[in-house]
Structure 1
């Protein structure tokens, strides 16, 4: 499996696998990839690493029985995972594309400041700016353990890191 390391610092590892797969298969592949990458990163046996998933709760990675923060994201073509040894983590990926109703989406989900910044952005750069803002919001919500919801004025306090993926994708890591 070809695993791309997107970020590795301060007890945080973010990886990605590029593949166009049905969602169920992508979920299995990224779980196997995170076990493999974490084993190499921490010099552990992959058998000592397991993914724990409970419906309605964020997934967790167990490293030799110790829990670590874990987050997944998928878009057609990429599956990403982030591990944080010392706390919560969130990751999100999105295909950059022109969205006709971007103003409504930004106002409803990203808040008035982001909507204003996007309106001021040149039209040819707006799709990337929107994707970066969206992935930042989604990653921060995942890090805080919150579901996607319309803008309520609250912004989870997270450190955000844009991740480098080939065009046409944007991705953000939050911890």
Structure 2
């Protein structure tokens, strides 16, 4: 377990696996963690996933929301009992075209804030801003798109992860 509060549980699985295997492993870990967290029989818990819709955790007659994120060597999942959740994980890395990327997807204010930072701090700050945006969009049920001036309203929580990863939970 990485974090828990307000009816939300975040878990992670660290393993360098092919994406399909990572997806299976995090789904199994979600069921195990939910069973312990909710003191339920694991057989009464399943993950429902339909392409184009957010995944759900089925809990013996009720459902919880789920969000998954994968990056090289790490898979994260967030379970929300009281409403939608979003999670995103990213490897901190130097991106040569960071300004255009930030302007196009995070907005002009975020791009200007990143430009004001020392170059050595920029990769971490960009990854933090990116995961916050992506998690908020996932929580709102929206796909990543170029900046349109709107930011979904939600609570954000930066997760404490070992370098080189950063992650943000939106709930």
TM range (shorter): over 0.9
The answer for the alignment partner of 2:139 in structure 1 is 143
After TM superposition, the score normalised by the length of structure 1 is 0.97
Measured in 2, the distance between the counterparts of 1:135 and 1:126 equals 14
1:30 to 22, 26, 29: 26
The answer for the alignment partner of 2:128 in structure 1 is 132
Secondary structure of 2:105's partner? helix
Shift of residue 6, structure 1, vs aligned partner: 1.2
The answer for the alignment partner of 1:104 in structure 2 is 100
What is the CA RMSD across the aligned residues, in angstroms? 0.5
Measured in 2, the distance between the counterparts of 1:50 and 1:71 equals 14
**Matched length:** 171
The correspondence of residues 9-88 of structure 1 with structure 2, limited to 5 A, is: 9-88=5-84
Note the alpha carbon deviations across 1:79-103, whole angstroms, 9 max, x for none.
0000010100000000000000000
Q: Which runs of 5+ in 2 are unaligned?
A: none
After TM superposition, the score normalised by the length of structure 2 is 0.99
**Aligned: 1:118 with 2:106:** no
Shift of residue 65, structure 1, vs aligned partner: 2.2
Measured in 2, the distance between the counterparts of 1:16 and 1:70 equals 13
Q: Which runs of 5+ in 1 are unaligned?
A: none
